[in-house]
Structure 1
């Protein structure tokens, strides 16, 4: 028997270190060739690391959340034959880093380096264990392995995954495990505190992976950008009538329209008059770039956190083509299938929580952009129109700007231009 060492691969683009996000194996597990053993995160994407060999895991080179240098030891595997590592030699012989997955999972900013250590985590339920509906005790801060789809299903069903037995590789929780858990006797529900029971438990959640990158990016944006917000209400009664009419007439053949493609169209037209809004600011070089192309970032909430896929060249798209592309890139981001190109290069961002949009929000500018347009929910309210009280559909736009680049008057006029276009929706199509 020999030892094969997998080093942290060089993912390219001059990256010197990556963050270890998640292990899919543990010490003692048997891995097969091409089996994914870990997820790691660069400054731009999350990638999967497969094993180039079949064998037994001897040691793991770090804990989730650690930042490891490219070329450092990631995992040590016992293999048939000589392997690529000789004890006492100090380094693997002709070690070849494994190929990484072609498609990244999510766009991320740069991480800060931390020391890497070789560690042996505590044993987890074996991937070869027989599936059982019995509640599995885990530590409160232990994050079981599960896919985003399984996590969402568990959340919707009110299931705490730490109580579910995982029968997949390395104890990963599968849909079948949720099925088994759901058919347990009602005593399983008694494992958690009742609605009026006193609780003294707490849970610590490590801020790692995409969650850490989001935190770093938001902190950096608030620290560097001179934020100010501007809120305006819009009467979208006529716009909603047009949208419903177009969906009834063309929905089956062209697809259903949401409010977003109309907002994108209004932003494109307003940006022609206010090019300083559709811009990016390099504060180190002290350089503002005003963009002719309107690449709209679509703030998208996924199971792993907030991502901003990009609708490119919105100025050249129709309502339906933009609607289709918004849906495509948003779904790709939610399913961790978006490419690096689809997650970078936006010039202005649109953020909406739909029916949960609230009355007012204060969105954070997506640097290096200088503006973000926030959509609040539509509500019916009594309004005075031509001296009469009538019911209208009203919606607020809550938008934020970088005051270092955008003056308050220009921001107000930009939003007022969008308001005028949406309240008179025919003007969206008049060139």
Structure 2
């Protein structure tokens, strides 16, 4: 019997350290070569770390949330026979977007390994009274939204951990209702639970990035009302006549098209700014990030070269990238490289929002909810119109107020006269 000391592998792209998100093994577990044992986070992606040898785990180094340098010994494994040389036991990595929500993006909290489907749930011992249920932040959030007491949900994961499949099985069996039943006053009983949650992974990255942006960027906000009555008529017509293989059109693809047409006249708004080196990088290409709420937290999939796509192609990319982000399958390339960002809260978008810049970008456009409101027409008559507000924010070091206003006015012109989008 000998000891193999497994080091944090080099995950590429010049990464020198990574944050531990979640261990999938514990001391005493038997492991096999290529087994997924650890999730770590680099930038906006999670890297699955596989085991290098067959053996038994004798020691783990590092807790979730800790930053570990590449080359640090992180797992000690008892192996039969001689310890293999490091070049004989290479680590393989697979980059993926974090799973399990927070998004994230909560940030991109820890990703829980999905259990393999089974024919029937295994028997699970009852959890001792008062013992805190083990579950990821995503599962806890889901339970809170569904008004489910996690203490009543059997867990089939390691150490009784409650998985998403456990939640599905619990709800399907009627447990959701039984958890809330039990007497006429049970539903109105005061809630006394308190949950402490360590902020790690994507949520920590989001927190750090937003704090840095607010501290260091003097921004300017500009809000304008857009009359989208004609655009909505066109959108409805196109959706009725679209092919089956084309994605359904929402407002966002038209906004992306409008920005792609308007930005060449305000090139400094489609740029990255390095404040430390006083370097502005302006892009001809429009790589439009579209912020998306996912089970892992806020994530920003990127529609690359939006200026070269038609409205249905943009809608298709938006659907594909959004699904990948929500399923935790978006790649690092699909989540990076944006030159300008759109953020929308959909139907709950409110009247005005104050989006925070996605540094090093210098522009972000927020979409608020659409409403039918009375407005005066050219003849002075009050008529119902469909309107929404765009809440934009710009880095005032780079984009002057006049230029910010002119960009949004050009976008307004395209959206209020949608035929011009196709000219």
TM-score with structure 2 length normalisation?
0.85
Contact 2:49 2:94 in 1 (8 A): no
CA 1:269–1:50: 2 relative to 1, 3 Å:
same
The 1:284–1:278 alpha-carbon spacing in structure 2 relative to 1, beyond 3 Å, is: same
Structure 2 CA distance for partners of 1:98 and 1:190, relative to 1, 3 Å: farther
Q: Residues 347-395 of structure 1: CA distance to partner in whole angstroms, max 9, x if unpaired?
A: 1111111112111100011111110011011111122223112111111
1:222 CA displacement: 1.0
Q: Is the 8 A contact 1:37 1:49 kept in 2?
A: yes
Q: Displacement of 1:232 after TM fit?
A: 0.8
CA offset digits 1:262-312 (Å, max 9, x no partner): 001111111122112112111122121221111101111111111111111
Q: Deviations over 1:305-326 (max 9, x none)?
A: 1111111111111111111112
* Residue matched to 1:144: 135
Aligned counterpart, 1:122: none
Query: Cα–Cα, structure 1 residues 23 and 253, in superposed 2: closer, same or farther, change >3 Å?
Result: closer
Q: Choose which of 189, 208, 214 in structure 1 pairs with 2:206.
A: 214
Aligned counterpart, 1:419: 412
TM-score, L = length of structure 1: 0.84
Q: From the superposition, tell whether residues 139 and 278 of structure 1 become closer, same or farther in structure 2 (CA, over 3 Å).
A: farther
Q: Alpha-carbon deviation of 1:80?
A: 3.0
C-alpha RMSD over aligned residues: 2.9
- The structural deviation recorded for 1:79 is 3.0
Q: Deviations over 1:376-415 (max 9, x none)?
A: 1111112222311211111110111101111111111111
Q: Is the 8 A contact 1:50 1:99 kept in 2?
A: yes
Write the distance in 1 (CA, Å) between the matches of 2:166 and 2:20: 27
Which is worse superposed, 416-425 or 379-388? 379-388
Distance across 2 between alignment mates of 1:153 and 1:411:
40
Deviation of the 1:154 alpha carbon: 4.9
Q: 2:156 maps to which residue?
A: 167
Number of the residue aligned with 1:61: 61
Q: Aligned match of 1:398 in 383, 391, 398? A: 391
1:328 is matched with 320
Does the Cα contact within 8 Å between 1:135 and 1:188 map onto a contact in 2? no
- SS of match in other structure, 1:252: coil
Distance 2:209 2:89 in 1: 30
The Cα of 1:51 is off from its aligned counterpart by 1.4
Instruction: Tell me the SS of whatever aligns to 2:267.
Output: coil
Q: Which residue, out of 355, 364, 370, partners 1:363?
A: 355
Give SS of 2:34's match: coil
Query: In the alignment, is the contact (CA less than 8 A) between 1:40 and 1:46 conserved in 2?
Result: yes
- Report 1:39-50 matches (<5 A): 39-50=39-50
Evaluate the alpha carbon distance shift between residue 392 and residue 75 of structure 1 in structure 2; reply closer, same or farther with a 3 A threshold. same
Change (3 A) 1:368 1:108: farther
Distance 2:169 2:50 in 1: 30
Contact 1:357 / 1:377 at 8 angstroms: preserved in 2? yes
Matched, 1:306 2:306: no
SS in 2 for 1:394: strand
Q: 2 CA distance for matches of 1:350 and 1:283?
A: 22
Question: For the Cα contact (< 8 Å) 1:301–1:307, is it kept in 2?
Answer: yes
The answer as to whether partners of 1:6 and 1:97 remain within 8 angstroms in 2 is: no
Task: Tell me what 2:16 maps to.
Answer: 16
> Which runs of no fewer than 5 residues in structure 1 stay unpaired?
85-92, 110-128
Aligned counterpart, 2:365:
373
Residue-by-residue CA offset, 1:246-271 (whole Å, 9 max, x unaligned): 01011535331111110011111111
Q: Does the 8 A contact of 2:287 with 2:338 survive in 1?
A: yes
Q: How many residues align?
A: 400
The 3 A distance-change label for structure 1 pair 99 and 243 is same
- 2:65 counterpart SS class: coil
Structure 1 match to 2:123? 131
**CA shift digits 1:17-69 (9 cap, x unpaired):** 21101111222333333221110112352101111233332221111001112
TM-superposition CA deviations, 1:175-225 (whole Å, max 9, x none) = 55235433366664479x944333443221101111111111111111111
